[in-house]
Structure 1
Amino acid sequence: MEACYPDKKATECHPIFIIGAPRTGSTLLYQLLTNNTEVIYISNFVNLFHRNLFAGFVLNGLLLKGHRRIHNSFSSDFGNTLKSGWNAPSESGNFWYNWLSKTNDYEENNNISQKKINRLQKLFNRVMALYERPIVFKNLNNSQRLPLISKIDPQSKIIWIKRDHVYNAQSIILARQKYNVSPNEIWSVHPKGLSPDDCSNEFELVANQIKLIEEKIREDLKLFPEENTLTINYENLEDMLPDILQFCGIKLDSLNMLRPHIKTKNSQRLSSEDWNRLQIEIQSLSLPQ
């Protein structure tokens, strides 16, 4: 399929990456930014063609009458939006795992070949040139891949979404409970240096997971121009939405359409005993807000 579309002149667009720890509101942000706005994204339909992403975008335009349309997907099952339809935004883990390891995301920063980097550069540029719009990616494993992303496109834009650490940790604990994750097993993003054997309990494991993810993000953001990075808080998402849209090159006339879908909420859902234990673990790490 790619051969049918010759190389165009270099696009002026650059990819946008949403990163952060699990359960910070990243999926909601992804859904907001891609709902009938001036960006492109991997939909559930396009993700069917994760081995040939360019073909997926071309077919999406032909069969779904253009990529820019309202998906109205503002709910998910821990990031999974399949129930919201084919045009809902996908995390597309399959696409990234076609290129990268499923186990050591941080090692790929040094081990991926220049040939793969060149191919990813070409793919991203072709897709963006096809629509003349930036592409938004949301896959939280990319929080550990920023050095690699800087090699693919050093002008990439990075949005780091954070959440109050105690509520963030609580949400991860609840997800672990839903999926019956063993107390000595890491769920979701595996940051470098995190070992369940070094943690005395599940609360300590989750607190350190957040800590290590954020430490690596904070360090790796230095690889990008300061004006290409934006740090936001889940709790202030509605207030920051105009700044986020401008950062992504999205027209502010989308504000009134998107704002009603922002429903952020922090509330205690664990037992008082577990809540207190979690607070103690988070406070012991002195995490910067």
Structure 2
Amino acid sequence: LNSNFGKSKNHYGPNEFGEFWYKYYSKTHSFKDQNKKSADKLKMEIAAITKIFKKPILLKNVVNSMRIESLSNIFNNSTFIVIGRDKLDNAQSILNARISLHNDKNHQWSVITPSMRNNPSLPFYKDIISQLDDIQLNIECSFKRIGNDKFIFIEYEDLCNNTPKVIKSILQKLNSRGLNLNEKGQIPRQLNFSTGIKVSEPDYELLREEIRKNGKS
């Protein structure tokens, strides 16, 4: 089953579960109702899913990278799996999504970060790199505040090129934290690894130069 920028065509396909999270979190990523009752309701909903399927739940939602500390406070046994990817490859993926979904390079898409809200008229190449920097900064700050035992870091390239090894490593780390997970089904030897120039040459150079100016990769 395939997804198109986080969306799929049927109930069994990959899904980022976005509308569910927006019941509890605002567009600025803060918890809507700062009270124990709302937090308990969120815990009950997630617990119900795990009870129905009798399995721990794995959620892939990039917007949750801006909610890490809040989620950690609500779910004491949560673990955050962070996939690092080459920034230029990441930036091109975001640009292609903007073009494919909105036919507009400057249409903000996916995680709307503080820099994007404060500077809505930035040209696309600055806006996208600011977006990626904000997300990375929030992950790093959350890591420092809530600790190493809440995180697992992997590299996108390694996940694609050494898929069984990386998946087994994740399972081992999760099991060392109190879970009891086993492999089920066949793990593919590799996943498609996307890199290189994926946008027009001028746009590629604009993104690359913006990354160089910021001094981050």
**Match of 2:195, as an amino acid?**
N
- Report SS of the residue matched to 1:99: coil
**Match of 1:241, as an amino acid?**
I
Q: Report the alpha carbon displacement of residue 212 of structure 1 after superposing the two structures with TM.
A: 0.4
Is residue 193 of structure 2 the alignment partner of residue 264 of structure 1?
Answer: yes
CA distance in 2, matches of 1:143, 1:246: 23
Could you state the TM-score of these two structures normalised by the residue count of structure 2?
0.83
| Unaligned ranges ≥5, structure 2 | 176-180
Note closer, same or farther for the CA distance 1:245–1:263 as it changes in structure 2 (3 Å cut).
farther
Is residue 18 of structure 2 the alignment partner of residue 87 of structure 1?
Answer: no
**Match of 1:268, as an amino acid?**
I
User: Which aligned runs of 4 or more in structure 1 are off by greater than 6 angstroms?
Assistant: none
Q: Report the alpha carbon displacement of residue 227 of structure 1 after superposing the two structures with TM.
A: 2.6
Q: Report the alpha carbon displacement of residue 149 of structure 1 after superposing the two structures with TM.
A: 0.2
| Unaligned ranges ≥5, structure 1 | 1-72
Once the two structures are superposed, residues 216-242 of structure 1 have per-residue CA deviations (whole angstroms, 9 ceiling, x without a partner) of: 011113344423311111111042222
Once the two structures are superposed, residues 102-148 of structure 1 have per-residue CA deviations (whole angstroms, 9 ceiling, x without a partner) of: x221x328x53221011112332343244442111112211111121
Is residue 155 of structure 2 the alignment partner of residue 233 of structure 1?
Answer: yes
CA distance in 1, matches of 2:96, 2:139: 24
The equivalences for 1:93-242 within 5 A come to 93-101=18-26, 103-105=27-29, 107-108=30-31, 112-180=34-102, 182-195=104-117, 197=119, 200-238=122-160, 239=162, 240-242=166-168
CA distance in 1, matches of 2:101, 2:203: 18
CA distance in 1, matches of 2:61, 2:96: 20
Structure 2 equivalent of residue 39 of structure 1 = none
Is residue 201 of structure 2 the alignment partner of residue 277 of structure 1?
Answer: no
**Match of 2:130, as an amino acid?**
N
CA contact (8 A) 1:186 1:196 kept: no
Q: Report the alpha carbon displacement of residue 86 of structure 1 after superposing the two structures with TM.
A: 3.1
2:4 to 62, 65, 77: 77
Q: What is the Cα-based RMSD across aligned positions, in Å?
A: 2.4
Q: How high is the sequence identity, in percent, across the aligned residues?
A: 25
CA contact (8 A) 2:98 2:107 kept: no
Give the structure, 1 or 2, with the largest relative contact order (CA under 8 Å, sep 6 or more): 1
Note closer, same or farther for the CA distance 1:198–1:99 as it changes in structure 2 (3 Å cut).
closer
